[in-house]
Amino acid sequence: MPLLFEIVSLVILTAILIADLLIIFKRPHIPSMREASLWVGFYALLAILFGLSILAIGDAEHAGQFYAGWLTEYSLSLDNLFVFVIIMTRFAVPKKYQQEVLMVGIIMALILRGIFIVLGAALIENFSWIFYIFGAFLVYTAWHQAFRSHEDEEETENKLIGFLRKRITISPEFDGARIRTVHNGQKMFTPMIVVFVTIAITDVIFAFDSIPAIFGITTSPFIVFAANIFALMGLRQLYFLLGGLLEKLEYLKYGIAFILAFIGVKLVLHAMHVNELPFINGGEHIEWAPEISTVTSLLVIVAAMTVSIVTSLLKVKREAKVTGERLHLGAAEPEDSSQ
């Protein structure tokens, strides 16, 4: 890709993302369903057009890598958003302050992913065996993703809250989006500090997951960073658009886990193909190790996300139908008994 195209693209994309976040300060509000839908659709269309520009300026391989990377990072961002929903609910963050919390979470995610992209690119450039570690880490993450429970997450959060309360004084109520307030004449932190710390830790964890995942699709730092920016674009609006629906996408985590496991295996196969470790195959490349193409990766990612979302929605519809039938039968019982 031409260096000028990469620089101009990243500058413009970062500016768009920052402008979207700064809207919160100028016009804080809860977006309507129509507004949120339009913004999410706009950013998705922008990503599609960006991929086509890569196709026009570069080639089909790089365009495919961008689309696969964007969809992978978007799926992980959905999972990240789901955790944001849990945190907001867990700490009872007032609705009118949630946009500011989301903004902080997205900015932290962008900064952390930027740092890890630079580190990841440097490691890959100098140590080809790092693909073994990335691959093994993603397979482990996939297992954890599929079998984690809300009880495990709540236990971790309770430990964090206990740790913070032992070291700082926290007021019983929020004071807007402030992290410091005066309560009964004493300066102390608000519960918002716990929310921000929890989100920061979550962002670090997801940055650890997302960067090895996308490096399993492309080793181009430009495409990696562009895909991450597009994955974070519209995340704030998506939060309000989906609302409680995220909690109902029960099988989403299995789709994400499958994607992570698939990319983990792909990384290990690539590591075998470019192997230089002396204790594996005498330090020689393992030629029979297959290389999974970008097109195959893209198809697998789309299929995994589609199946997990559709099956989740079908289950929600089925459960709603069963609930409706039970309510109907319950309403009919008094009439039947009177006869």
Determine, yes or no, domain membership for 54: yes
- Residue 247's pLDDT band, with cuts at 50, 70 and 90, is low
**Residue 33, class by beta-carbon neighbours within 10 Å (0-12 exposed, 13-18 middle, 19+ buried)?**
exposed
Mean pLDDT across the chain, nearest whole number? 81
Determine, yes or no, domain membership for 287: yes
pLDDT digits (tens, 9 = 90+) for 225-237: 899 888 888 787 7
Residue predicted with more confidence, 145 or 7: 7
What is the domain extent for residue 134? 3-331
Determine, yes or no, domain membership for 337: no
Q: Which two tokens stand for residue 217?
A: 């699709």
Count of residues in the chain: 339
Determine, yes or no, domain membership for 338: no
The whole-model pTM stands at: 0.77
Determine, yes or no, domain membership for 336: no
What pLDDT is stored for residue 339 in this prediction? 47
CB 228 within 8 A of CB 117: yes
pLDDT digits (tens, 9 = 90+) for 72-89: 888 888 777 777 777 777
- Give the whole-angstrom CA distance, residue 305 versus residue 276: 35
3-class SS of residue 197: helix
Least confident of 144-158, 266-280, 313-327: 144-158
Mean pLDDT of 90-96: 77
- Give the whole-angstrom CA distance, residue 303 versus residue 338: 53
3-class SS of residue 266: helix
Determine, yes or no, domain membership for 104: yes
Total domains in the fold of the chain: 1
Determine, yes or no, domain membership for 213: yes
- Give the whole-angstrom CA distance, residue 176 versus residue 181: 10
- With CA atoms as reference, report the closest residue to 119 among 233, 197, 246, 215: 215
Mean pLDDT of 10-32: 75
pLDDT digits (tens, 9 = 90+) for 147-157: 876 555 556 65
Residue 298: pLDDT above 80?
yes
User: 180-183 and 186-189 as β-strands: parallel, antiparallel, unpaired?
Assistant: antiparallel
Residue 25: pLDDT above 70?
no
What pLDDT is stored for residue 250 in this prediction? 79
Q: Which residue has the tokens 């075998």?
A: 272
Determine, yes or no, domain membership for 339: no
